[in-house]
Amino acid sequence: MIANGPGAALVREALPKQVTDGEHSVEGILSTGLCGALDPALRVGDIVVCGDAPLESPAKFIRGEVHTMDHVVVTARDKRLLRDQTGAIAVDMEAAAVKQVAADWKLPYLCVRVVADQAGDTLPLDFNRYRNARGDFSRTRIALAAIARPFTVMPQLVEFDRNCRRAADALGDFLAHSRF
């Protein structure tokens, strides 16, 4: 298991340069995390799966393409345009980079994402403005931006946080009951 953070650069930084270190070998790659819905039918907590590795789960999930961007897709309008352009049902910031590593290593790949924001949702802030040079989000800068607008942004940010936590719980439950 490797945690990397948002974006392709952090994926490349986190993953080892080879499939085996002599003691451990990799049999497949599973990429997990949050995503934004592009399909209006998807709801917060829905599981989206794509890739070629086997998956057995008693839990409900939706198979469909996850499109990777190098930035957060903030507005409902941009999500609608991206769906029209790509046909994808969800958007994230890492899956394509992880999929490329799996292809380079000639390993099975599976992407399991959970919806944190719906297609019709516009996020409370443009989170892209609060990323550092590495690509990490600055929680401090996000909090300061919310505090600057306590009656508009703050309630929306609290709701988004609640949705992210609900989504993370749904992803954990799904992973706990699935075989890869």
What are the structure tokens assigned to 25, written together? 């070998």
pLDDT of residue 58: 96
Q: Enumerate residue ranges in the chain where pLDDT < 70.
A: 1-24
One-letter amino acid for residue 151 of the chain: F
Domain 8-176: CATH class, spelled out: alpha beta
What burial class does residue 98 get, using C-beta atoms within 10 Å of its C-beta: 0-12 exposed, 13-18 middle, 19+ buried? buried
The pair of structure tokens assigned to 82 is 């991206």
Nearest to 28 by CA among 135, 105, 125: 105
Order of strands, sheet of 66-68, starting from the edge strand that comes earlier in the sequence: 62-63, 47-51, 109-117, 29-37, 90-92, 66-68
pLDDT of residue 113: 97
Coil/strand/helix, residue 134: coil
What is the predicted pLDDT for the residue at 14?
64
Task: Name every residue whose Cβ is closer than 8 Å to that of residue 124 and which is 6 or more positions away in sequence.
Answer: 146, 153, 156, 157, 159, 160
Name the pTM for this structure: 0.88
Question: What confidence score (pLDDT) does residue 140 get?
Answer: 93
